[in-house]
Protein backbone atom coordinates (compact mmCIF):
# COMPACT_ATOMS: atom_id res chain seq x y z
CA UNK A 1 0.00 0.00 0.00
CA UNK A 2 2.84 2.38 0.88
CA UNK A 3 4.61 1.60 -2.39
CA UNK A 4 1.47 2.41 -4.42
CA UNK A 5 1.04 5.75 -2.60
CA UNK A 6 4.68 6.64 -3.19
CA UNK A 7 4.35 5.76 -6.88
CA UNK A 8 1.27 7.95 -7.18
CA UNK A 9 3.16 10.86 -5.59
CA UNK A 10 6.10 10.27 -7.96
CA UNK A 11 3.75 10.33 -10.97
CA UNK A 12 2.09 13.49 -9.73
CA UNK A 13 5.51 15.09 -9.28
CA UNK A 14 6.54 14.15 -12.83
CA UNK A 15 3.23 15.49 -14.20
CA UNK A 16 3.74 18.70 -12.24
CA UNK A 17 7.24 19.12 -13.71
CA UNK A 18 5.90 18.51 -17.23
CA UNK A 19 3.11 21.05 -16.72
CA UNK A 20 5.55 23.64 -15.38
CA UNK A 21 7.94 23.03 -18.28
CA UNK A 22 5.07 23.33 -20.79
CA UNK A 23 3.95 26.58 -19.14
CA UNK A 24 7.48 27.93 -19.39
CA UNK A 25 7.63 27.08 -23.10
CA UNK A 26 4.25 28.74 -23.70
CA UNK A 27 5.38 31.86 -21.83
CA UNK A 28 8.59 31.99 -23.90
CA UNK A 29 6.59 31.72 -27.12
CA UNK A 30 4.23 34.47 -25.94
CA UNK A 31 7.20 36.73 -25.13
CA UNK A 32 8.72 36.12 -28.56
CA UNK A 33 5.39 36.86 -30.27
CA UNK A 34 4.96 40.07 -28.28
CA UNK A 35 8.49 41.20 -29.16
CA UNK A 36 7.89 40.48 -32.85
CA UNK A 37 4.60 42.39 -32.79
CA UNK A 38 6.26 45.38 -31.11
CA UNK A 39 9.12 45.39 -33.62
CA UNK A 40 6.70 45.15 -36.56
CA UNK A 41 4.60 47.97 -35.10
CA UNK A 42 7.70 50.13 -34.71
CA UNK A 43 8.73 49.47 -38.31
CA UNK A 44 5.22 50.32 -39.53
CA UNK A 45 5.23 53.55 -37.53
CA UNK A 46 8.60 54.54 -39.00
CA UNK A 47 7.39 53.73 -42.50
CA UNK A 48 4.24 55.81 -41.99
CA UNK A 49 6.35 58.75 -40.82
CA UNK A 50 8.70 58.40 -43.81
CA UNK A 51 5.77 58.20 -46.24
CA UNK A 52 4.18 61.27 -44.66
CA UNK A 53 7.43 63.22 -44.96
CA UNK A 54 7.83 62.17 -48.60
CA UNK A 55 4.24 63.13 -49.37
CA UNK A 56 4.73 66.50 -47.66
CA UNK A 57 7.87 67.16 -49.72
CA UNK A 58 6.08 66.16 -52.94
CA UNK A 59 3.11 68.37 -52.07
CA UNK A 60 5.41 71.30 -51.37
CA UNK A 61 7.22 70.72 -54.67
CA UNK A 62 3.90 70.66 -56.53
CA UNK A 63 2.81 73.92 -54.88
CA UNK A 64 6.11 75.58 -55.78
CA UNK A 65 5.92 74.28 -59.35
CA UNK A 66 2.38 75.58 -59.79
CA UNK A 67 3.43 78.94 -58.34
CA UNK A 68 6.38 79.13 -60.75
CA UNK A 69 4.15 78.25 -63.72
CA UNK A 70 1.61 80.90 -62.74
CA UNK A 71 4.36 83.54 -62.36
CA UNK A 72 5.88 82.61 -65.74
CA UNK A 73 2.46 82.79 -67.45
CA UNK A 74 1.73 86.18 -65.89
CA UNK A 75 5.14 87.53 -66.93
CA UNK A 76 4.68 86.26 -70.49
CA UNK A 77 1.20 87.78 -70.72
CA UNK A 78 2.48 91.12 -69.42
CA UNK A 79 5.44 91.12 -71.82
CA UNK A 80 3.21 90.25 -74.80
CA UNK A 81 0.70 92.91 -73.76
CA UNK A 82 3.44 95.53 -73.46
CA UNK A 83 4.82 94.52 -76.86
CA UNK A 84 1.52 95.34 -78.55
CA UNK A 85 1.19 98.75 -76.86
pLDDT in tens, 1-58: 545 555 555 667 777 888 889 999 999 999 999 999 999 999 999 999 999 999 999 9
CA 49 to mean position of chain CA atoms: 10
- CA atoms of 21 and 14, how far apart (whole Å): 11
Quote the CA–CA distance of 44 and 51 in Å, as a whole number. 10
Across 5-9, 70-74, 78-82, least confident range: 5-9
Q: What is the DSSP letter of 84?
A: T
pLDDT number for residue 25: 95
Amino acid sequence: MVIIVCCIFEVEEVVLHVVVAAAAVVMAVVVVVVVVVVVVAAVVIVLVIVVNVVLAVVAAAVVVAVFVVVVVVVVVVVVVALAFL
